[in-house]
Structure formats: structure tokens, C-alpha cells
Chains A and B, each alone.
Chain A
């Protein structure tokens, strides 16, 4: 079974664009394309489902424009490609972006994948959080620029009870 690697994400992104273009060519807007609505089988063949709020296109409405912009923003943010540095353009017709920007987005995704792979090979860098030690209640997380920061996890208590360790140092432990 093929693993869901970075290359897979490129293939799946291309697939989502292809489906979007196919639907628009058939005058249908899905209006709810998101990872939850892409089903996978055991060979990582993807199928789009949940056409509950989809519509036939009468004209390029405000709704469909918004949905495509949301999708593009979501993809770029999820890959940490832009991290707020670039305002995504939203043009009048949805298909304009889907067709014209498809190659650009795929190229950027591929570039990012290659750079990541090179970083892994050259620097042995896998996880920015790997060498970060956080205090017991907080966990290492990535901020928008992929810098590791120590933040509270979900079950973080404000109540701290410092105790004395056997080596004489002061240890901070959360109450739970």
C-alpha cells in the first residue's frame, strides 16, 4: 500500500482541481469541497462525495467565487506555503483561478516537496519540535512560520505545584 506522502498530496490536490474543472464544465458547483468530503479507498484512489448543497451554475455567482477562494486559501495555508505573506487573488470567475493557477500551485507544491526532501537528506531535519524540550504541561507546537513554540496543550491546568526533586532542583508539575 502506497503511503500518503508529500507526493500523494500533490496528486490529490491535482485531483481536486480536476474534479472542480469537470464539475464546472458540467455547470455544477460543489460548494463544499474540503478534505472531509474526499473519500479514499485502500489504494488511495479518491472520490468526492456530499453534493448536498451543490447547485447548477446559472451565472458566476458570489457563492461559487467564495468557495473556490476558500479552497485555495485552505490548501496554501495547510501546506504553510504563504503563511499570510501573500493575499490570494480572487477573480470574478471561479474557473479562471482553477485553470490558470492550477499549474502554478502544483509547481509550488512540488517545489516545496523537493525542498523538504532535500532538507531531510542534507540536514536530517524532520520535525522542528524534535529537539525542543517543553515543561510538562506545555507541548511543542508550530506557529504560522513553522517555528517551534511551547504552548499549552488541551488539558493544560493553570494550577502549578512545584515539588522538590531528589537532586535538589525545583520541578514544576501540573496538578493533573
Chain B
């Protein structure tokens, strides 16, 4: 996997050939880690074409930052193009 920035990595190949994004989660305290766990448990119960899917959650040991593996989307966010053009998003 190629490093994109500090906690987002470029797509690698999952076993079925689809691109995936791996995000390292740097939880500063226990509260942040709890929110990550909430997100993982929530997303794993939801199955919709328009909601990002969690493909995997890896934590080798308790003191290592967990890695979430998700769908990778090539485009930006809805605001991404505006931020690129204007430097800020006018709709937020």
C-alpha cells in the first residue's frame, strides 16, 4: 500500500480485485476510540448502496493503532471540487 498522507493510504487490491482504502485511526483518548468502535459497529449493521461499507477492522494488539478498511471512491467529496477551485466550500 502506498502512503497518501499520515492516515490515509492509496488503494490496494482486495482479494476480489476491488480497490480499498485503509485508514489508520489515531485515537487520542478513550473517548475517541469509543467513537471509532461505535462507527465500526454501526456501519457493519447497515447495508445500503449509498453508505460506505466497512470491509475490515484490524487491531493486532491493544496498544497498536487500529486500521479500518473501507470502500475506496476515486472522486472527491461534494465539497472537494469547490475546495480545489475556491479554497473553501460555499455550501457549508
Contacts and interface: CB of A to CB of B under 8 A. Distances in A.
Interface of A: 4, 12, 15, 18-19, 22-23, 26, 28, 34-42, 44-56, 74, 78
Contacts of A35: 77-79, 89, 91-92
Contacts of B42: 28, 51, 54, 56
B46 A23 contact: yes
Contacts of A23: 46
Interface in B68-92: 70-71, 73-81, 89-92
Contact of B73 (A26, A28, A47, A50): A47
A151 B78 CA distance: 27
B75 A42 contact: yes
A51 B43 contact: yes
14 contacts: A12-B78, A15-B50, A22-B46, A35-B77, A36-B77, A36-B92, A39-B73, A40-B78, A45-B49, A47-B50, A51-B38, A51-B43, A52-B36, A52-B38
Nearest to A19: B50
Given A26-B45, A74-B91, A78-B90, A39 B39 contact: no
Contact of B71 (A4, A12, A42, A47): A47
Interface of A, secondary structure class, is mixed
Interface string B43-54: 101101111100
Interface residues of B, number: 28
Given A28-B42, A56-B42, 16 more contacts: A12-B78, A15-B50, A22-B48, A23-B46, A26-B46, A37-B77, A39-B75, A41-B74, A45-B49, A45-B50, A47-B52, A49-B51, A49-B70, A52-B39, A53-B35, A78-B91
